[in-house]
């Protein structure tokens, strides 16, 4: 950036408001999220106080159509983004002129969804002459917890959502070491597909719930031991994940049970609670075992502080209490502290994007003038990938009794 452009960016980044809004004279950030099926916006001050937020979920529509259709998601983002942003601004009592910057998810995610948020934001920052902060969706999930707890870098983070499953060491706002990632699909995607295959939308308690929520609810009354699924990648001593093999095992069991009960695909099985419980248990075991190895790798390589080493669990699937309890067993056995944001900040929202904008603003890192063209990136790895080194270390896990309370 030329010196002249850098100076004009510095001018734009000064606090613009004095009174009238809820905030004192602290720099204000508008965060915008449209990477998947939630249109979210929030206004936050530099201390992390949420001044106003709004969220429009497309869940109902996608549940009805049996999965996210990208063109439908794009259309719904288009229909809602203006209103959602205006609502967040109105609730905060902040005008566009008073904002210091706009932060928007630009990667990774569904191309058509990312495009709507990015196009809206670039128009907005040009119209109001505001700096733009392009946000990595997974960095935002990883750092949300710092808005709620005084947590310093570095820390270990397990992010599990509908699109991702990864273990990383967060060393700074934009500095991550990727220890492992999914080799096929993400756990939320697996839970959504299993829920669809089980036709849980027909279940009277589940028709408004996401797949993961439905499985968690039904599993409460199920016997997790009735059906034994193999935990994935038992012979691979790394921190990567795989879920398609598990989904295959579950689908085969469902077909067998349909044949035994003499019912067609699409009928609710009598053993649906037990299948949900066994599914959730195996997902939890897989996540816990890979995380256990990640903790041991971090300890062997001095990647975490000796004082209060922390595991952060976040992303939509982290709302699951059974999975939280499984991870708690690992952190207690290895001397780590476990931190999870509350469920509403685990699933996608505008607040986490605004917070990431605040973190970047505080560091003066990755802030662009309004006229710079930015492209979205549907695929974007998180940080420096050292999963090959983790695999080469071939750390064997000591046996831990994973007796997860229901
Ligand atoms: O982070 P998120 O809102 O969106 C993505 O970035 O993907 O995560 C959505 C995923 C969905 O697959 C949903 O089924 C899953 O999170 N999920 C859950 C629970 N609540 C949401 N999975 C398991 N247990 C839950 N309670
Ligand atoms: Zn997400």
pTM score above 0.75: yes
How does pLDDT run across 285-295, given as a tens digit for each residue?
999 999 999 99
The answer to whether 31 and 351 are in contact (CB under 8 A) is yes
* 334 in Cβ contact with 311 (< 8 Å): no
> Could you give the C-alpha distances from 382 to 52, 159, 168, 293, 361, in angstroms and in order?
29, 11, 8, 19, 20
Answer yes or no: is the C-beta of 37 below 6 A from any ligand 1 atom.
no
pLDDT tens for 146-193 read: 999 999 999 999 999 999 999 999 999 999 999 999 999 999 999 999
For residue 163, the CA-to-ligand 1 centroid distance in Å is: 9
Contact 316, 258 (CB under 8 A): no
CA distances from 361 to 102, 148, 155, 337 (A): 10, 18, 21, 28
315 CA to centre of ligand 2 in angstroms: 6
The string of DSSP codes covering 339-368 is E---HHHHS--HHHHHHHHHHHHHHT-S-B
Does ligand 1 lie within 6 Å of residue 232's CB atom?
Answer: no
- How far apart (Å, rounded) are the C-alpha atoms in residues 118 and 35? 10
Predicted local distance difference test score (pLDDT) of residue 3: 79
Nearest to 286 by CA among 249, 320, 327: 327
How crowded is residue 153: how many other Cβ atoms within 10 Å of its Cβ? 13
The string of pLDDT tens digits covering residues 71-89 is 999 999 999 999 999 999 9
Q: Is the pLDDT of residue 18 over 60?
A: no
Rounded to whole angstroms, the Cα distance separating 339 from 89 reads 30
Find the mean pLDDT for residues 202-223: 96
* Any ligand 1 atom below 6 A from CB of 320: yes
Of ligand 1's listed atoms, the one at least distance from the Cα of 141 is 1
Q: Which two tokens stand for residue 79?
A: 């229909």
Question: Nearest C-alpha to atom 8 of ligand 1 is from which residue?
Answer: 316
Q: Residue 43: CB within 6 Å of ligand 1?
A: no
Q: What angle do the packed helices 70-92 and 111-128 form, to 10 degrees?
A: 30
- Tell me what percent of the residues of the chain surpass a pLDDT of 90: 90
Say yes or no to pLDDT of 6 above 60.
yes
pLDDT at 19 over 60: no
Task: Decide: 144 in ligand 1 pocket, CB within 6 A.
Answer: no
Residues in the chain: 406
Q: How many CB atoms lie within 10 A of CB 234?
A: 11
The pLDDT tens digits for 368-386 are 999 999 999 999 999 999 9
Q: Tokens in use for 256?
A: 């067998």
212 touches ligand 1 (CB under 6 Å): yes
CB 108 less than 6 A from any atom of ligand 1: no
Is 224 within 8 Å of 277 (Cβ atoms)?
yes
58 lines ligand 1 (CB under 6 A): no
The sign of the torsion formed by the CA atoms of 54, 78, 36, 372 equals negative
**Of all helices (H) and strands (E), which one includes residue 30?**
strand 28-33
Cα angle vertex 76, ends 71, 80, to 5°? 150
Q: Which residue has the tokens 């939320």?
A: 188
Mean pLDDT throughout 214-224? 97
Question: Which protein residue has the closest C-alpha to ligand 1 atom 12?
Answer: 188
Q: How far is CA 17 from the centre of its chain?
A: 32
> For residue 9, what pLDDT band results from cuts at 50, 70 and 90?
confident
What value does the mean pLDDT take over residues 237-256?
Answer: 98
Q: Whose CA is nearest to atom 21 of ligand 1?
A: 316
Element (H, E) at 170: strand 165-172
Task: Work out the percent of the chain whose per-residue pLDDT is above 70.
Answer: 98
Kindly indicate the confidence band of residue 308, based on its pLDDT and cuts at 50, 70 and 90. Answer: very high
Query: What mean pLDDT value characterizes the chain?
Result: 95
Least confidently predicted of 9-13, 16-20, 60-64, 276-280: 16-20
Nearest ligand by distance to the CA of 220: 1
Q: What is the pLDDT of residue 338?
A: 98
User: Quick one: pLDDT at residue 22?
Assistant: 56
The verdict on the CB of residue 318 being under 6 Å from ligand 1 is no
- CA gap 200, 168 in Å, rounded: 33
Distance 166 CA to ligand 1 centre (A): 14
Compute the average pLDDT of residues 30-53: 97
d(CA 206, CA 211): 9
pLDDT of residue 96: 98
Q: Is the pLDDT of residue 20 over 70?
A: no
Kindly report which listed range (73-87, 349-363, 368-382, 391-405) carries the lowest average pLDDT score: 391-405
What is the enclosing helix (H) or strand (E) of 44? strand 38-45
> How far apart, in whole angstroms, are the C-alpha atoms of residue 387 and residue 394?
11
Distance (Å, rounded) from C-alpha 62 to C-alpha 277?
A: 24
Element (H, E) at 106: strand 101-107
CB 95 within 8 A of CB 85: no
Separation of alpha carbons 250 and 243, rounded Å:
11
Expressed in angstroms and rounded, the spacing between residue 375 Cα and the centre of ligand 2 is 19
Q: How high is the pLDDT of residue 5? A: 80
Whole-angstrom CA distances from 370 to 173, 211, 373 are 22, 39, 8
């Amino acid at each position: 950036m030329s010196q002249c452009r850098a100076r004009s960016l510095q001018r734009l980044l000064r606090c613009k408001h004095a009174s009238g809004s809820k905030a004192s004279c602290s720099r204000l950030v508008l965060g915008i999220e449209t990477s998947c099926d939630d249109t979210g916006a929030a206004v936050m001050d530099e201390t992390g106080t949420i001044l106003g937020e709004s969220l429009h979920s497309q869940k109902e529509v996608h549940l009805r159509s049996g999965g996210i259709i990208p063109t439908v998601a794009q259309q719904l983002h288009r229909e809602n983004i203006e209103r959602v942003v205006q609502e967040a601004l109105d609730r905060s009592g902040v005008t566009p002129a008073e904002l210091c910057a706009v932060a928007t998810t630009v990667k990774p995610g569904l191309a058509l969804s990312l495009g709507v948020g990015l196009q809206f934001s670039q128009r907005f920052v040009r119209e109001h002459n505001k700096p733009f902060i392009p946000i990595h969706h997974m960095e935002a999930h990883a750092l949300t917890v710092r808005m709620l707890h005084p947590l310093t870098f570095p820390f270990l983070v397990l992010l599990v959502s509908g699109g991702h499953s990864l273990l990383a060491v967060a060393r700074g706002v934009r500095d991550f070491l990727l220890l492992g990632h999914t080799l096929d699909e993400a756990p939320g995607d697996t839970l959504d597909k299993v829920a669809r295959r089980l036709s849980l939308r027909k279940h009277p308690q589940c028709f408004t719930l996401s797949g993961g929520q439905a499985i968690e609810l039904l599993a409460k009354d199920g016997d997790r031991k009735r059906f034994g699924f193999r935990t994935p990648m038992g012979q691979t001593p790394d921190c990567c994940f795989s879920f398609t093999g598990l989904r295959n095992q579950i689908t085969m069991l469902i077909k067998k049970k349909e044949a035994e009960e003499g019912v067609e695909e699409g009928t609710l099985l009598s053993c649906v609670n037990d299948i949900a419980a066994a599914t959730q248990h195996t997902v939890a075991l897989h996540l816990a075992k890979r995380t256990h190895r990640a903790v041991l790798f971090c300890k062997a390589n001095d990647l975490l502080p000796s004082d209060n080493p922390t595991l952060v669990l976040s992303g939509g699937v982290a709302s699951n209490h059974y999975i939280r309890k499984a991870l708690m067993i690992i952190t207690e056995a290895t001397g780590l502290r476990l931190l999870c944001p509350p469920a509403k900040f685990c699933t996608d929202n505008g607040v986490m994007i605004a917070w990431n904008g605040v973190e970047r603003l505080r560091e003066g890192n990755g802030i662009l003038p309004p006229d710079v063209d930015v492209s979205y990136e549907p695929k974007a790895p998180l940080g420096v990938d050292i999963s090959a080194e983790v695999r080469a270390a071939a750390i064997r896990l000591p046996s831990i009794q994973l007796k997860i309370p229901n």
